[in-house]
Amino acid sequence: MLEKNEISLVDVDGAAAGLGRRAFLGASAAAVAATALPRVAEAGNLGLDGAPARYPSPVWVVHDDRFRQYMIGNTPMYREWTGSLWAEGSAYNAPGRYVVFSDIPNNRQMRWDEATGEVSVLRPNSYFSNGNTFDFQGRQISCEHQTARVVRYGWSGPPEVLAETFDGKPLNAPNDAVVHPEDGGIIFTDPGYGSHWWYEGTVRELELPTSVYHIDAATGALTKLTDEIFKPNGLCFSPDYQTLYVADTAPTHHPGESAGIIAWDVVDNGRSLTNRRVFTELEAGFHDGIRADRDGNIWAATAFGGEGIDGVHVYAPDGTKLGQILVPESCANCCFAGQHRNRLFICGSQSVYTIHTAAEGAHIT
């Protein structure tokens, strides 16, 4: 079912451009802010009263011509499912051909089946889990808000607790995690959002600085990598695992501070970080979950910016904003799904969406 009205197809600077087979015009962010959001196709139903979705989709916004190589003109953005309160933590399982994601306030993990498009409850009591990922043995790793733990689901039995305290104090509320391929070490963020409201976990005072941590796969030792970040949120590696990117959602609890993405060089497979630098900053809204493609671009789910901002922002490795994918909701997370990892799965606040791209996700999840 199509929603809203279509908007005119123009570049961000308002100049017309030619259409190529895979290079189609984006929609103006300024125009979107002043008009209705672009149409979105519902899963299983291409249009209202049988009307088809018009190509190219106006959800694409071009800021830099380099973005055109990642755009597909003859594909719609689909709302696959709606019914969550705050969808988060998406991760793709290639053997199972599904995406797991968290509906945090409803205290459940959900499963989107790539083959059928169906969404079902994977775990009805997830301890208000947020971020999920899979290690290189296919085991699911989840960050739990309610228990303030990082856990790993094995082949049977209850999940294994990987981290729950540091220096004898409980973690704040782990948020998102990534795994290094060389030794299986896990890096996770601990901003404490699950400790601020009953809505997403358990209310408690934070006893530790908001930090980024490393779990040694062989010994289980927990090391604090850095606390030089206000609210460390989503994170991802560069394609070569030499850079770690972490979204900082600082404005939620630090008025006057900028939201953006911080980058560090990775040392010793993630056992330490160096060369901290600001990768990008936002004037409105904030980036949450982030992913890298094989060319080193960063795809950042974006929320609380309003029309023309919410959706997915895409940055080149040099930090230049290449473009956007507009979504009619705040977006908390995204991941690349499919056999070729070219289908972007997007967690909106109340719904989940997919859109095919000409990019390829850099990592297994």
CA 236/CA 291 separation, integer angstroms: 6
Q: For residue 165, what are its two tokens? A: 């305290």
Q: For residue 115, what are its two tokens? A: 């083959």
Q: For residue 344, what are its two tokens? A: 């972007």
SS3 state at 68: helix
In order along its 365 residues, the chain shows pLDDT tens digits of: 333 333 223 344 333 333 333 333 333 333 333 334 556 766 554 433 456 778 898 999 999 999 999 999 999 999 999 999 999 999 999 999 999 999 999 999 999 999 999 999 999 999 999 999 999 999 999 999 999 999 999 988 899 999 999 999 999 999 999 999 999 999 999 999 999 999 999 999 999 999 999 999 999 999 999 999 999 999 999 999 999 999 999 999 999 999 999 999 999 999 999 999 999 999 999 999 999 999 999 999 999 999 999 999 999 999 999 999 999 999 999 999 999 999 999 999 999 999 999 999 998 77
Map tokens 């009591």 to a residue. Answer: 125
CA angle at residue 324 from 322 to 325, to 5 degrees? Answer: 145
Contacts of 3 (CB under 8 A, 6+ apart): 37, 39, 40, 328
Q: In what order do the strands lie in the sheet with 87-93?
A: 87-93, 98-103, 108-113, 119-123
Cα separation values, 11 from 7, 43, 85, 293, Å:
12, 28, 33, 23
Cα separation values, 291 from 24, 35, 38, 181, 300, Å:
23, 29, 24, 16, 7
Q: Are the C-beta atoms of 275 and 238 separated by less than 8 Å? A: no
Residue 50, phi-psi category: left (phi > 0), alpha (psi -120 to 50), beta (remainder): left
- pLDDT of 278: 98
Residue 79's nearest CA partner among 29, 38, 28 is: 38
Map tokens 């995406």 to a residue. Answer: 99
- pLDDT of 13: 38
SS3 state at 190: strand
From the candidate CATH numbers 2.60.120.620, 3.40.920.10, 2.120.10.30, 3.20.20.390, the one assigned to the domain spanning 77-356: 2.120.10.30
- pLDDT of 186: 98
CA angle at residue 11 from 8 to 16, to 5 degrees? Answer: 80
Domain with CATH 2.120.10.30 in the chain: 77-356
Contacts of 348 (CB under 8 A, 6+ apart): 87, 327, 328, 329, 330, 331, 332
Neighbouring C-beta atoms of residue 235, cutoff 10 Å: 24
Element spanning 279, H or E: strand 272-282
- pLDDT of 3: 34
Q: In what order do the strands lie in the sheet with 232-237?
A: 232-237, 243-248, 259-267, 272-282
- Secondary structure letter of residue 194 according to DSSP: G
- pLDDT of 306: 96
